[in-house]
Amino acid sequence: MTARLVAGIGIRPGTEAADILACLDEALAIAGLSGMATPRFATLASRAAEAGMVAAAADRSAELVAIPDEALKGYEAACATSSTRIASLYGVGSVAEAAALAGAGPGGTLVQPRIATGRVTCALARTAS
């Protein structure tokens, strides 16, 4: 099996799919991966059913993985950025980075730290295989 990209995405409630996809595309461009498929989106379990998130994943034919809040905490050390506000809410400095790493599974690596655009944060990780 080849390595796959995972998009870790943090959103505020009510965020539109277009905003999510714009942030994802910007993260891919910054990482030098424009146009690459992101077959898995990972986000907080509490945001996985948001209409915008579901629509964004469907638009990219991506599997949508809901990461429980408590599962994010194990990835704190691997996160490249940190938001004090997010850390106080979720116990991890970057939901997007921790979700990307959790979604990538064991051996996953962060390939693009969190970027923020308006109501969305996005980070990219690669699966080990």
Query: What are the extents of the domains in the chain?
Result: 5-126
Span 47-57, pLDDT tens digits: 999 999 999 99
Maximum C-alpha span of the chain: 38
Q: Which residues pair with 8 in a beta bridge?
A: 42, 123
- 65 CB-side CA count, 13 A: 20
pLDDT in tens, 92-122: 878 899 999 999 999 999 999 999 998 999 9
Q: Which CATH superfamily is domain 5-126 in?
A: CobE/GbiG C-terminal domain (3.30.420.180)
